[in-house]
C-alpha cells in the first residue's frame, strides 16, 4: 500500500510533500515566486516606461537620426538644439503663460466656490440636502455635448468667445463637481463638536467656515488646487471650442500646431511633447502624497 | 387642552423657525452651485432639447422642424458608423482596462518590494497631458519609422500601419487608453489595502485557494469601487474624442474608422454648423448614457456587496 500510493495519487501527494519540504527548498521556491513576480512587474514597467523614454530620447536626436531604421537607441550625437529651436519657432512661453493664467484664475474660482458649496452640503443640516447633493453628483455623468451648443450661443451673446471667460467664469459657480465632492468628503470627517462649540460662543456660520473649517481643510484644499492645475494643463477640449486666436492658445492647443507644421521633424515634435509633459511629471514627484490621497479620498468613499 | 397648545406653540414655532433658518443658511452656502447649475446645466440642457427639434445655424432664430433631425439621424450612414465605432471602442476598452487595472493593483498588493516605485511608474502615463501622450503614440506607432514596428521587424513580423490602417486604428486607440489607466489602478490598490486581513486568514483556514479567495473575498469586498470605476470609464469612453481629434487628420480618417460619436457631433456642430442636428445627437447620447447607467445600477444589486447594508 505504502509503495503504491505515490504513483496512484500524485495530486494529493504534492501538497503534503510541499509542507514537509526541507527549509532550503522552501526558500528556493519562495525566491522563485518573488523572482516571477518581479519579472512580470519589470516587463510591464518596461512597457509603461518605453513611450516616455522614447519621447525624451527622440527629443535629443537630430532629425535624420530620429528617422533611422533600424532605430538608434541612444542619441548620438546628443543634441540640445531641438528645444531652443522649437521655442524660437513657436511662441512656447506665451502658451505656457496662457496656460498658467488659465490655471491660476480657475484655481481661485474652484477654491472659493467649491469650499462654500461643500460646506453647505456637509456642515449644515437642512431638509433635502442629500437629494440636492445627488443631483449635483448626477451632473458628473451628463455628457458635455448635452450643454455645449446653447452655452456657445450664450457666450457668443456675452461676447466671451475667443477668450478664457467661458472656461473661467463657471468655476466660480461650483462647476468643478469633483472638487466639491472631495471637499465635502473631507469636511464630513471634521468633528461636529468643533462647530457646535463655536456656535455656542456666538460665532456666525460664515465665521465658522472661514476660521474653523477652512484652516483644518488645508490638505484637502492642496489636493483640489493640484488637481485643478493639472486639469487646466491638460485641458484640450475647452480651449479647442472657445479659443480661436493662436496667441491665446494654451499649451495643449499649441502642441498640436507642431504636429501640423513640423510633422516631418519628429525630434521637434517630441521636444514639444517633453516640454509639455515634464512640468507635470516633476510636479507629481514633489506632490505624490497629496496626489494619491486625493484619488483615494474620492475613489474609495464614493 | 387650550392651555397645552398655547404652551407648545412657542416651542414648535422656535423649532420650525430654527429649521427654516438652517435651510436658509444651507441654501445660501450652496447658492454659487445652484446658480451655476441653472445657468450652465439646466438651461443649456433644455435648450439642447429644444434645438434638437429645429433647424439652426447659430445665426438668426432656430426654425422648428419637428422630428426631422431625429428621422435624419435614422437614415444617416455616417451616424451609424460613428455609433458603431464608439460601441466598438467602449465594449473592448472598458472591460479590458478594468481587468488590467485590477490585475496590476492585485499584483502590486502582493507585498512586492518596491511597490511604491512600480505604482509611481504605472501611474505617471495617466498624468501626461492628453495631447502629449497622443503625439507620443503617433510617433512610437509610426508605420515606417516607429519603434514598435522596428521591434516587430526584429522578430520578423511586418507591423501594420496602426493609426493609419482602417482595421488597426481603433485597437491602437485602445492601447493608448490602456497606457493611461493609472487612476483606476491607484483607486483599486487603495481599495485592496482596505480589505481586512482577517477575512483572508479565515478563508485560508477554510481551505480556500488563491483563486477562490479572489472570487469570494476580494472581488465582493471591492465591488462598490469596481462599479464606481466602471460607470466612470463607460461614460468617458462613450464621449471619446480628444485623442482621435489630435491624431487623425482629417478627423475620422482613415476611411471613417475613427469617426467616433463625439467626433461626428463636433463636425456637425462646429464645422458644418448644423446645430439642430448636432443637438439631436447630443440628446440621444444623453438617453444612451442614462440607459446604461440605470441598467448598471439596477443589475449591480446582484453583484455589488455593501458592507453596511441594512436590508
Per the rule left: phi > 0, alpha: psi between -120 and 50, beta: everything else, A159 is left
DSSP B63: E
Question: Averaged over B202-218, what is the pLDDT?
Answer: 88
Same domain for A103 and A247?
Answer: yes
| Distance, CA of A141 to CA of A138 (rounded, Å) | 6
Assess if residue A76 is contained within a domain. no
Total domain count, chain A: 2
Helix (H) or strand (E) holding A170: none
Q: Is the peptide bond before B254 cis (omega within 30 degrees of 0)?
A: yes
Across the interface, which of A172, A240, A292 has its CB nearest the CB of B32? A172
Residue B190 to residue A295, Cβ atoms within 8 A: yes
pLDDT, one tens digit per residue, over B127-150 is: 999 999 999 999 999 988 889 998
The pLDDT of residue B10: 67
Helix residue ranges, H only, chain A: 5-8, 10-20, 23-59, 63-66, 82-89, 92-122, 129-138, 145-158, 165-168, 177-188, 192-200, 205-207, 214-216, 218-234, 237-242, 251-261, 266-286, 288-300
Same domain for A54 and A140?
Answer: no
Q: What Rg, from alpha-carbon coordinates, does chain B have? A: 26
In which domain, by residue range, is A196 found? 83-300
Across the interface, which of A51, A126, A147 has its CB nearest the CB of B22? A126
| Banded model confidence at residue A103, pLDDT cuts 50, 70, 90 | very high
Question: Averaged over B85-112, what is the pLDDT?
Answer: 94
Assess if residue A251 is contained within a domain. yes
- Lowest-pLDDT range of A17-31, B151-165, B200-214, B220-234: A17-31
- pLDDT of B255 over the 60 cut: yes
| Distance, CA of B218 to CA of B237 (rounded, Å) | 26
Per the rule left: phi > 0, alpha: psi between -120 and 50, beta: everything else, A265 is beta
What's the gap in Å between the CA of B286 and the closest CA on chain A?
6
Same domain for A279 and A132?
Answer: yes
Same domain for A30 and A91?
Answer: no
| Banded model confidence at residue A265, pLDDT cuts 50, 70, 90 | confident
DSSP A71: P
The pLDDT of residue A262: 62
Number of Cβ atoms within 10 Å of the Cβ of A28: 11
Question: Averaged over A177-196, what is the pLDDT?
Answer: 92
Q: Are A141 and B294 in contact (CB under 8 A)?
A: no
Site of grid cell 498658467: A100
> Using a CB-CB distance cutoff of 8 angstroms, which residues of chain B are in contact with residue A272?
135
Of A59, A81, A73, A174, nearest to A119 by C-alpha is A174
> Using a CB-CB distance cutoff of 8 angstroms, which residues of chain B are in contact with residue A180?
33
Helices A92-122 and B2-37: angle between axes, nearest 10 degrees: 170
- pLDDT of A297 over the 80 cut: no
The pLDDT of residue A22: 62
Q: How far apart are the first and last CA of chain B?
A: 42
Quote the strand ranges of B40-188, DSSP E: 54-55, 63-64
| Distance, CA of B211 to CA of A267 (rounded, Å) | 47
Same domain for B21 and B100?
Answer: no
Assess if residue A66 is contained within a domain. no
- Give the CATH number of the domain where residue A208 resides: 1.10.3720.10
The strand pairing partners of B64, in sequence order, are B54
The phi and psi torsions of B64 (rounded to 5 degrees) equal -65, 130
Residue A237 to residue B242, Cβ atoms within 8 A: yes
> Using a CB-CB distance cutoff of 8 angstroms, which residues of chain A are in contact with residue B279?
149
Assess if residue A77 is contained within a domain. no
Assess if residue A28 is contained within a domain. yes
Same domain for B105 and B17?
Answer: no
- Lowest-pLDDT range of A36-40, A202-206, A234-238, B271-275: A36-40
CA-based angle B298:B299:B300, to the nearest 5? Answer: 90
Same domain for B252 and B165?
Answer: yes
CA-based angle B178:B183:B188, to the nearest 5? Answer: 100
Same domain for B119 and B236?
Answer: yes
Same domain for A51 and A117?
Answer: no
- pLDDT of B217 over the 60 cut: yes
The pLDDT of residue B6: 54
In which domain, by residue range, is B16 found? 2-51
Total domain count, chain B: 2
pLDDT, one tens digit per residue, over B287-304 is: 999 999 999 999 988 888
| Banded model confidence at residue B40, pLDDT cuts 50, 70, 90 | very high
The pLDDT of residue A295: 74
| Distance, CA of B54 to CA of B61 (rounded, Å) | 9
Question: Averaged over A35-63, what is the pLDDT?
Answer: 91
- pLDDT of A21 over the 90 cut: no
- Lowest-pLDDT range of A206-215, B63-72, B297-306: B297-306
pTM: 0.89
Q: Which residues contact B78 (CB under 8 A, 6 or more apart)?
A: B256, B259, B264
- Lowest-pLDDT range of B167-181, B200-214, B261-275: B200-214
Amino acid at each position: 500500500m505504502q509503495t503504491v500510493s505515490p504513483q496512484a495519487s500524485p495530486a494529493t501527494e504534492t501538497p503534503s510533500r510541499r509542507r514537509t519540504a526541507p527549509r532550503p527548498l522552501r526558500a528556493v521556491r519562495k525566491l522563485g515566486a518573488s523572482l516571477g513576480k518581479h519579472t512580470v512587474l519589470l516587463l510591464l514597467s518596461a512597457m509603461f516606461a518605453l513611450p516616455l523614454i522614447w519621447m525624451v530620447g527622440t527629443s535629443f536626436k537630430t532629425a535624420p537620426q530620429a528617422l533611422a531604421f533600424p532605430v538608434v537607441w541612444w542619441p548620438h550625437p546628443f543634441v540640445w538644439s531641438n528645444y531652443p529651436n522649437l521655442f524660437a519657432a513657436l511662441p512656447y512661453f506665451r502658451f505656457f503663460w496662457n496656460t498658467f493664467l488659465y490655471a491660476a484664475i480657475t484655481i481661485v474660482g474652484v477654491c472659493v466656490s467649491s469650499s462654500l458649496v461643500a460646506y453647505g452640503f456637509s456642515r449644515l443640516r437642512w431638509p433635502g440636502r442629500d437629494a440636492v447633493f445627488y443631483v449635483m453628483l448626477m451632473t458628473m455623468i451628463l455628457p458635455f455635448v448635452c450643454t455645449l451648443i446653447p452655452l456657445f450661443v450664450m457666450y457668443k451673446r456675452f461676447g466671451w468667445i475667443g477668450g478664457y471667460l467661458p472656461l473661467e467664469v463657471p468655476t466660480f459657480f461650483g462647476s468643478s463637481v469633483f472638487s466639491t465632492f472631495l471637499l465635502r468628503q473631507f469636511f464630513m470627517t471634521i468633528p461636529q463638536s468643533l462647530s457646535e462649540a463655536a456656535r455656542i460662543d456666538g460665532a456666525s456660520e460664515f465665521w465658522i467656515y472661514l476660521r474653523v473649517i477652512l484652516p483644518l481643510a488645508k490638505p484637502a484644499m492642496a489636493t483640489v488646487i493640484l488637481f485643478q492645475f493639472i486639469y487646466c494643463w491638460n485641458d484640450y477640449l475647452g480651449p479647442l471650442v472657445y479659443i480661436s486666436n493662436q496667441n491665446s492658445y494654451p499649451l495643449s492647443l499649441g502642441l498640436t500646431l507642431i504636429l501640423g507644421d513640423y510633422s516631418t521633424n519628429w525630434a521637434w515634435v517630441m521636444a514639444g511633447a517633453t516640454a509639455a509633459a515634464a512640468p507635470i511629471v516633476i510636479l507629481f514627484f514633489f506632490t505624490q502624497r497629496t496626489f494619491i490621497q486625493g484619488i483615494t479620498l474620492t475613489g474609495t468613499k464614493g | 387642552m387650550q392651555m397645552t397648545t398655547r404652551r407648545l406653540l412657542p416651542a414648535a414655532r422656535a423649532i420650525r423657525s430654527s429649521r427654516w433658518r438652517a435651510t436658509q443658511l444651507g441654501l445660501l452656502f450652496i447658492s454659487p452651485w445652484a446658480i451655476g447649475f441653472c445657468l450652465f446645466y439646466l438651461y443649456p440642457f433644455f435648450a439642447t432639447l429644444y434645438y434638437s427639434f429645429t433647424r439652426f445655424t447659430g445665426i438668426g432664430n432656430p426654425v422648428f422642424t419637428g422630428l426631422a433631425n431625429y428621422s435624419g439621424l435614422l437614415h444617416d450612414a455616417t451616424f451609424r458608423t460613428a455609433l458603431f465605432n464608439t460601441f466598438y471602442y467602449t465594449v473592448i476598452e472598458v472591460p479590458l482596462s478594468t481587468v488590467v487595472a485590477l490585475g496590476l493593483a492585485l499584483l502590486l498588493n502582493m507585498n512586492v518590494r518596491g511597490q511604491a516605485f512600480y505604482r509611481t511608474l504605472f501611474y505617471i502615463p495617466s498624468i501626461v497631458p492628453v495631447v502629449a501622450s497622443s503625439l507620443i503614440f503617433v510617433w512610437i506607432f509610426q508605420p515606417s519609422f516607429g519603434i514598435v514596428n522596428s521591434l516587430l521587424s526584429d522578430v520578423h513580423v511586418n507591423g501594420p500601419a496602426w493609426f493609419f490602417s482602417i482595421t488597426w486604428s481603433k485597437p491602437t486607440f485602445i492601447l493608448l487608453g490602456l497606457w493611461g489607466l493609472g487612476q483606476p489602478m491607484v483607486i483599486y490598490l487603495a481599495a485592496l489595502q482596505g480589505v481586512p486581513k482577517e477575512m483572508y486568514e479565515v478563508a485560508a483556514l477554510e481551505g480556500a485557494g488563491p483563486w477562490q479567495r479572489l472570487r469570494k473575498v476580494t472581488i465582493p469586498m471591492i465591488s462598490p469601487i469596481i462599479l464606481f470605476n466602471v460607470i466612470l470609464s463607460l461614460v468617458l469612453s462613450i464621449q471619446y474624442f480628444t485623442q482621435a481629434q489630435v491624431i487623425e487628420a482629417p478627423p475620422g480618417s482613415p476611411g471613417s474608422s475613427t469617426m467616433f460619436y463625439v467626433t461626428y457631433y463636433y463636425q456637425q456642430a462646429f464645422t458644418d454648423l448644423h446645430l439642430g442636428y448636432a443637438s439631436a445627437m447630443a440628446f440621444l447620447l444623453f438617453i444612451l448614457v442614462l440607459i446604461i447607467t440605470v441598467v448598471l445600477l439596477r443589475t449591480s444589486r446582484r453583484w455589488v456587496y455593501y458592507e453596511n447594508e441594512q436590508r
